[in-house]
A and B are shown apart, each in its own frame.
Chain A
Amino acid sequence: MRLLFRAGRVIDPTAATDRVEDLLVEHGVIADRGVDLLPRDLLGNPPADVEVIDARGLCLAPGLVDMRAQLREPGEEHKETIASASAAAAAGGITTLACLPNTEPVIDEPWLIEFVARRASEAGRVRIHAYGAITRGRAGQHLTEMGLMTAAGAVGFTDSPRNVADGGVLRRAFGYARTFDQLILNHPEEPALAAGGAMTEGEIATRLGLPGIPAAAEVIAIERDLRLVELTNGRYHAGPLTTAAAIEAVRAAKRRGLPVTADTAPHYFALNETAIGDYRTFTKVSPPLRSEWDRRAVVDGLRDGTIDAIASDHAPHDQESKRLPFRQAEFGMIGLETLLPLGLELVHNGFLTLVELIAKLSANPAAILRRPAGTVAKGAAADLVLFDAAKPWRIDEKAFLSKSKNSPFDGRPVQGRVIGTWLGGSRVYPSR
């Protein structure tokens, strides 16, 4: 069976093109692109082995690549499972996803990398890769078997959302990971400065009587990491970036030619600390929502390319973890199903072109993870998302496929909606 997307606006982030064309899928692979691939007189009566999808007025882009999500399996299946996250990701247009190792047990052994891959392929809706932990049990001391985990499919190493605080340990991690040319992510927060904090430090935290996390905790962590990159020549990815100072530090490092890439998450450009309101725990995230000034710096960092990628930072939590006094509530919000519409706000507000946005949501994170994804080039796997970039709708928590519903965006009016998602040429959303 062949699949023909007819006359959609094809967004190709690699070639940086955005034009109306047909896209033909054969055997799960993008076979051809061009104008009128199927002669017009055959449209009404296509060959029996061709399914024609009318994409007129819609955008067709590479399936999104989400480079940071927490999936809760194994260990906290009451919050999310790999299967439920897969359904949510597909609904959000995501076809490749990298999950953090903060599960129970921690993903710090090769068999756990394989476990995630097996569960993901059973769900069969999204390609899921796991990061391995940098240190055993994410305890910040002993290095994990990075080589064996790389062989098992690990896409990189991180203790996120926990920072590796010991500079000596991190230096060795950068150095050792080079043996396997592997990527290191480090949660950008100096833990001693952030200890006990519940929101960003400042006037609002003071008024609410909540312990603050200073914005400087981020740049202090990142500048230390950047010096270690210089020392070790390790491959380093910084994210999520949330403060002006940290973004400036990464900007300067890139200018110096350091091998560093960076990401942020939608809530850091779509919200600021005022969203906390009267102690709304769904807005409690790590790093915390920042000042309006920092929020604008995130937008600037996305515009000038300092921030390469946008990740969902999906962090599902059940009611019992969130219906608590603010300080006691867990950090994190879900994000798989809101990644694209919130990202599109940057396009509708004129900060990014559609091609630039799609690059940050697909080609760029795929390149950072060195996965053959995020492309609509001929010969690539037909991982695709079809969406209506203009469609207005309201985010509705009742429609989320994620097992947890902890999104502060419930009720937010947005523009842009996923119509369908295909993985290797098979439709994975809406499910058949």
Chain B
Amino acid sequence: MSAVFAHRHLLAIEGMGPDDVNLLLDAAEAYVEVNRGAIKKGASLRGRTVINLFFENSTRTRTSFELAGKRLGADVINMAVASSSIKKGETLIDTAMTLNAMHVDVLVVRHPESGAVHLLAEKVNCAVINGGDGTHEHPTQALLDALTIRRRKGRLGGLTVAICGDVAHSRVARSNIHLLNIMGARVRVVAPPTLLPADLDRMGVEVFHDMARGLDGCDIVMMLRLQTERMQGALVPSTREYFHFFGLDRAKLAAAKPDALVMHPGPMNRGIEIDSDLADDIDRSLIREQVEMGVAVRMACLETLVEHRQTLRND
């Protein structure tokens, strides 16, 4: 690789440059074919230890990281920490110190609190990958979304991408907004104001409250998951009203370009934010491909961070 990845950890997309993103996407691209082959196992991380430290339930992200690590030959250990314990922070710092003493190479951390992964990264010597922190960022999701788009559309720059739904509580949305802006895409968000955080327009997005206008001329429509407890009068009056105005179906998708593609980070609420039939339409929906790209992107991230640390050590 010619370019150099200049970050010790992968904590956020914000702060990265286009070279960083391209480097990770190019590395991931190479693994897509490997993953489709019969023999998937490599040896570049043989002897390395990766720990998946999850303070929040997750099946797909954890499995994706686990597969990624194993396919590179690393030893992967999954640790689930109950986030319901009273002294959450003590658990966080104490766990970090404990793992640090075990000479781990990479820690993949998911935590329900924004900033928790950053706090943990300050306390350990190994590389840390943010597997999602609160409503802050989920950088590997944005990278896998970018790889998916790039493979289908051939580029990221110049595309118009609409991100629809609960942006306020979405780390996926924030990471995608940063990444798409870094790569020169035009980003729109579409949601009722109760699902949008303050001053979002200052993050380089156009804000819409209407699907027809927000999707008009879009290349990509990214749907976000809306948690049901937020749809019972707190932020949205009801699921049926939400689906009526903001759920993605073929009628609403018609406002986008004829070749527009649909994405969703999963897990989906079928019939709430996305029409079930549309979600399964392989001509329009990239949802399964996103999952596939996830493993390749995470392989690239693990390998790049380990290589970077090796370079630091050799220096």
User: CB within 8 Å of B: which residues of A?
Assistant: 201-203, 205-210, 212, 214, 278-279, 320, 323-329
Contacts and interface: CB of A to CB of B under 8 A. Distances in A.
B188 interface: no
Contact of B116 (A207, A212, A214, A325): A325
Contacts, number: 75
A324 B136 contact: no
B193 to A, nearest CB: 13
Interface string B75-95: 000000000000111101100
Contacts of A279: 114-115, 118-119
A278 B115 CA distance: 7
A326 B197 contact: no
Contact of A210 (B93, B115, B203): B115
A209 B198 contact: no
A212 B202 CA distance: 16
Contacts of A209: 114-115, 133-137, 171, 174
6 contacts: A202-B198, A206-B174, A279-B119, A320-B87, A320-B90, A326-B114
B113 interface: yes
A206 B198 contact: yes
B33 interface: no
Q: Which of B115, B118, B134, B171 has the most CB of A within 10 A?
A: B115
B278 interface: no
A207 B14 contact: yes
B255 interface: no
The 4 closest A-B pairs by CB, nearest first: A209-B136, A325-B113, A324-B89, A279-B115
A206 to B, nearest CB: 4
Report, as a range, how many residues of chain B touch the other chain.
Answer: 20 to 34
A324 B88 contact: yes
A202 B14 CA distance: 17
B199 A208 contact: no
Interface string B135-177: 1110000000000000000000000000000000001001000
A203 B199 contact: yes
Nearest to B11: A278
Q: Which of B136, B137, B197 has the most CB of A within 10 A?
A: B197
Contacts of A206: 174, 197-200, 202-203
A325 B116 CA distance: 5
Interface in B42-94: 87-90, 92-93
Interface in B1-56: 14
Contacts of A323: 89, 93, 119
Contact of A325 (B119, B137, B203): B119
A325 B90 contact: no
Contacts of A202: 198-199
Interface in B177-225: 197-200, 202-203
A202 B115 CA distance: 17
Contacts of B88: 324-325, 328
B225 to A, nearest CB: 16
A327 B93 contact: no
Contact of B197 (A205, A278, A324, A329): A205
A214 B197 CA distance: 11
A402 B302 CA distance: 45
B111 interface: yes
Contacts of A203: 198-199, 202-203
